[in-house]
Structure 1
Amino acid sequence: MPNNSDSNIATADALTLLLHNQHALGAAIEEVTKWLSESGGASVAHNALAAMETLDKNARAITDAIIHLRRS
């Protein structure tokens, strides 16, 4: 059975990959939002920006968890 440190490292590594995916999704949403704004889809762009705020907020929490796990 792996020790707690090994489990923390594995968990932090997995969370790091998920965080990278979250950043990539945020960048893609940002690009689509820009296109929507320029194409007259202001209300849809507004909804996409709200989704990006959630991604950003959750990214901060994931980052904090990664730091905590790596220090354990």
Structure 2
Amino acid sequence: MPNNSDSNVATADALTLLLHNQHALAAAIEEVTKWLSEHGGDTAADNAVGAMETIDRNAKAITAAIMRLRES
């Protein structure tokens, strides 16, 4: 069984990859939001902005967790 430090590193590495995926998805949503806004899809654009806010908020929490794991 791996020691706690090895588990923390593996968990932090996995969370880092998920965080990178989150950033990529946020960038894609941002592009779609821009297009929607320019083409009259205001309600959909507003919903997309809400999704991006959730992604940003969760990204901050994931980053904090990664930092705590890497410090242990």
Q: What TM-score comes out, normalization by structure 2 length?
A: 0.99
Question: What are the Cα deviations for residues 28-59 of structure 1, in whole angstroms up to 9, with x where unaligned?
Answer: 00000000000000111000000000000000
Q: Give the letter aligned to residue 54 of structure 1.
A: T
| Aligned position for 2:64 | 64
Q: Give me the whole-angstrom Cα distance separating, in 2, the residues matched to 1:28 and 1:64.
A: 24
Same amino acid, percent of matched pairs: 78
Instruction: Find the counterpart in structure 2 of residue 5 from structure 1.
Output: 5
Report the counterpart of residue 37 of structure 1 in structure 2: 37
Q: Aligned-residue CA RMSD in angstroms?
A: 0.3
Separation in 1, partners of 2:51, 2:2 = 37
Deviation at 1:25, TM superposition (A): 0.3
Could you tell me which runs of 5 or more consecutive residues in structure 2 were left unpaired when the two chains were aligned: none
* Regions of 4+ moved over 3 Å: none
- TM-score for the superposition, normalised by structure 1: 0.99
* Alpha-carbon distance in structure 1 between the residues aligned to 2:4 and 2:15: 16
SS of aligned partner of 1:2: coil
